[in-house]
Amino acid sequence: MGPENPDFVPLTEISPLLINSVLTAEDGTFRFHRGFNEEAFRQSIATNIKERRFARGGSTITMQLVKNVFLNRNKTVSRKLEEAIIVWMIESTGMVSKDRMLEVYLNIIEWGPGIFGIGEASQFYFSKHPSQLTLEESIFLSSIIPNPKAFRYSFDKQGMLREYLQYYFKLVAGRLARKEIITQEQLDQLKFGVELKGPALQYVVPTDTIPTDTVPTEFEPLFFENL
């Protein structure tokens, strides 16, 4: 995964707003942990035991990267054990830098129907290069990662973001402001909406009713972030 891939985008050419929105939403302690978020992991185990199924992940970016690169998607105990071992090896030996892990992660994850990597995603949604993404566009893209196909139901009949996504915008932007990644002025001027300009527009289903599995019951990684 590098410049030889025409769709590859170096980390230095990705908007810091996108990078930090994804980190805030998916793994706020990524720069500091050794591959595991203990609190998220404990909560994940408790929820899965209670519901007697893999209802909740609690995965860090390192864990997601390992799953996407080395393993299948089967939610089994043996697969999770393999994942943990590989994560430990990568993080404990320092064989891959955090920046490189994040760079590969952003270039391989799914962002929509057949859309993989931030280069494709930026064009698909906004017809622009990842370096040009705005704050609102960055937060919107970060919201897609947990369920890439659900973006189709992100807008109501009036073209407005649904209420749960407006809350998500406030939550992520608020965290970014507290970390001084964005200014108070940027936070005050935040718009709760985006204008799709790419091919994604034809996939949107503007309706007042949406499938229940497209609405998150919680934004779990955000609540386990050490501020």
Report which DSSP code applies to 155: B
Residue 135: per-residue pLDDT: 98
Residue 80: per-residue pLDDT: 75
pLDDT tens-place values along the chain, 227 residues long: 666 777 899 999 999 999 999 999 999 889 988 777 666 555 555 444 455 544 445 689 998 999 888 876 666 677 778 878 888 888 888 888 999 999 999 999 999 999 999 999 999 999 999 999 999 999 999 999 999 988 898 888 777 888 889 999 999 999 999 999 999 999 999 999 899 999 999 988 877 666 655 555 455 555 444 43
Report the first-to-last Cα separation within the chain, whole angstroms. 32
Residue 14: per-residue pLDDT: 98
Fold of 11-223: Penicillin binding protein transpeptidase fold (1.10.3810)
Residue 157: per-residue pLDDT: 79
Residue 155: per-residue pLDDT: 87
Three-class SS of residue 95?
A: coil
Domain boundaries, the chain: 11-223
CB of 211 closer than 8 Å to CB of 225: no
Q: Quote the pTM value.
A: 0.82
Tokens of 39: 């609190």
Whose tokens are 């990644």? That residue is 181
Residue 56: per-residue pLDDT: 42
Report which DSSP code applies to 150: G
Reference 181, options 124, 223, 139; nearest CA is 139
Q: Report the alpha-carbon distance of residue 60 to residue 35 in Å, rounded.
A: 7
